[in-house]
Structures are given as structure tokens and as C-alpha cells.
Amino acid sequence: MESNFILELFGNNIWSYLIIAVIPLGFVTLYALVAILGELKIASWVQDRLGPMRTGWKGVLQPLAEVIKLLQKEDITPTNVNRPLFNTAPFVVFIGSFAAFAVIPFSSKFIPADLNVGLFYIFAVSSFGVIGILMGGWSSNNKYSMLGAIRSASQMISYEIPMALSIIAIATLSSSLNMNKIIEMQSGGFWDWNILGGNGPILKIVFIPFLLVLFIVYFIGSLAETNRTPFDIPEGESEIVGGYHTEYSGMKFAMFFFAEYANMFVVSSLVTVMFFGGWQSPFGSFLNDPISQVFWFVIKAMFFVFVQIWLRWTLPRVRVDQLMYITWKVMLPFAFVAFLGVAFWSMIKP
């Protein structure tokens, strides 16, 4: 925790920890509004239309109006649901998403919890999403919700395996699961980021394809992990109405919605940390102070959020059998070979 400027400023007391907890919550709330606006506007641009234009200047307040509308809606609980699980599921999904922000290193001076096993921690808490979705789908007593929950569980479990290989490969390359140390290993400029072979001799160029494959595998897996197109079959509106959240309304539906956007930032942050230098400036020591580092980190992560939104309005939804084929027969073999290549490079590099 020595790298946290809040503790350095206010000391090691309860108020410092409350501030550390509130800052990510405020950031997630603001980010979700921006991401929703981005979703609406990018969708409209792709489809050659204007999108929301009436609520605020050029429609910038539309996300706020959507949130207020959801909060005001009646909270309906169907008669034959399992009430304890039905009411708990949205909170479990949201807790899993928000808990991941505890170890995201926004800069060298602000990491809410600088854990030595940060990567493992995020991978572990992300499983809360699977549990919550299964709880919501099963407890709804709705066949469409149950189908969506089963699809989501099989999808997440399958895609976590190649994603885990990507994470293990980066941990092997950096000799650490600490996210801050992984970023520090990529110091020096964009040519020293892991996507370009990491900080090492010119020989690293031979191993760039392995790291590029791991990046592609992880990013595709992250789309499945967050139920984003082309892997949005748990919510497939044209097939199963709305999937696991069909019976939810009001605040509970908003929490599922909120958790999905929070997950998008979490997986984008992991891509940034593992492959694109995290909070490191692309120009080495230039503009690499703690304030600038927050800017670099957020702008990199938001770029990958933009790509996820862009892909939603570009690609068609895959079938369930295609989903399983991609993960088990394409991504897993490629990830395994790339992992072996990175492990070999880690052994021979000086």
C-alpha cells in the first residue's frame, strides 16, 4: 500500500480507506454514463443516423435520463420465483464487477489495493458474475432465463481457460502476479510494451507473434466473458427474449446493466496492464508523472471499450456450436503454443 498517495496524504486511518473505496465507485458511475452514451452514439454512427439528440446538448444527458428512468420503474417480482436468490443475484453480479476495481493500477501512486496476486484476484472475483447469472436465471422460473443462464455459464467457463493461459504467460514473462510490477517491467516507451516483446534485447522480435496471439486470444475471450457481441448468446433477444435478466426490471435490471459495463472496463484494463504498458507513457519518461499516468491508463482502457462497442454493431452473433468450436479447437491450441513460446523466451532472455 506504500504506492497509494491517499495514504501518504491522510495517513493510515479509516477515512483514508473510505476515500480509497469511494474513488473507484465514483469513477465507475461516471464511466458507465460515458460508456452508455458511447454505445448509443457509436451505434447510430455505424447505422448512419444521429442517435439521441434532445436530452441535453447533442443528447449528452441521455444516459442520465436512462438511469433515472430505470430507478423510477416499478420493481416487479414475479409470483413463482425463488425470492431470496432472485433478489440477491443482481447484487452478486455487481459485487463481482466492482470488487475487481480494488486492484486496478490507475497510476504508480494510486492502486486501491496493491496485492501481490492482483491478476489472480481479478480472475477469481470475476467468477462471481457466473454465480450471479446462474442464480438469476434459475430463480426466475422462466425457461428463457434458464437457457440464458446455462449458455452464460458454459460460455464463461470455456473461455476462461484460454484467458487463463494468457494471464499465466504474462505472469511468467514478468515473474510476478502483481499488476504494478508487470507495468513497471514495461517501462521505457511503447517499444518496450509486452505487445512488442517487452523490455529486453532486440532478439525479442522473434517472440512478438506469440505475445500477439496471446493478446488476440485474451481480447476475444474478454468479449465472451462480458457477454458482448459476437458472443452475446446468453442475452440473445431474437432467440431467448433477454436471457437471464428477462424477469428483472427497475433497479435490479440496472445493476445487471451496470455490471456489464463495469466488466467491460475491467477486461480492458487487464489488456492495458498485460500488453500495453498500463499507466506507462508511450514516450518513455515524457509525460509520465502520476497525474499523466491516470490519463494514459484511462485512455488506453477506454480505447478497448470503444472497440468492444464497435464490434457489437459490426459482427453477427455466433451460434452455440460455433462458440464452443472457437474456444476449444481454435483459441485453446493457439494459446497453449503461444504460452510455451513465451515460457521458453522467459528462460533464455538475459
Report, as an integer, the average pLDDT of 146-170: 87
DSSP three-state, residue 110:
strand
Q: pLDDT averaged over the chain? A: 86
| Grid cell locating 5 | 498517495
* Mean predicted confidence (pLDDT) in 319-331: 89
Q: Is 2 a residue whose pLDDT tops 60?
A: no
> What digits encode the pLDDT tens for the residues 242-290?
778 888 888 888 888 888 899 999 999 999 999 999 999 998 888 888 8
Percent of the chain with pLDDT over 70: 94
Amino acid 296: pLDDT? 94
Q: Tell me, what's the pLDDT at 285?
A: 82
pLDDT digits 0-9 by tens, 328-341: 999 999 999 999 98
Kind and range of the H or E run holding 49: none
pLDDT at 300 over 90: yes
Flag the least confident range among 5-9, 134-138, 292-296: 5-9
Q: What is the DSSP secondary-structure string of 1-47?
A: -TT-HHHHHH-SSHHHHHHHHHHHHHHHHHHHHHHHHHHHHHHHHHT
Q: Is the pLDDT of residue 306 over 90?
A: yes
Spell out the alpha helix ranges (H) of the chain: 5-10, 14-46, 62-72, 83-99, 118-125, 127-139, 143-174, 179-184, 208-225, 237-240, 250-275, 290-312, 320-325, 332-348
Task: Flag the least confident range among 144-158, 195-209, 251-265.
Answer: 195-209
- Nearest-angstrom CA–CA distance, 23 and 341: 39
Output DSSP code: residue 95: H
pLDDT beyond 60 at 3:
no
Q: How far apart are CA 213 and CA 219, in angstroms?
A: 10
Cell reading at 37: 452514451
Q: What is the pLDDT of residue 8?
A: 64
What is the secondary structure of 218-264 as a DSSP string? HHHHHHHHTT-TTS-TTT-HHHHTTGGGTT--HHHHHHHHHHHHHHH
Give residue 271's pLDDT. Answer: 95
d(CA 68, CA 87): 20
Query: What are the respective helix, strand and coil percentages of the chain, to the nearest 5?
Result: 70, 0, 30
**What percent of the chain has a predicted confidence (pLDDT) above 90?**
27
Residue 126, SS3 per DSSP:
coil
Beta bridge partners of 107: 110
Residue 192: count of CB within 10 angstroms of its CB: 18
**Confidence check: pLDDT of 219 > 80:** yes
Q: Which tens digits make up the pLDDT trace of 100-141?
A: 998 899 988 888 888 888 888 998 888 888 888 888 888 888
CB 186 within 8 A of CB 280: yes
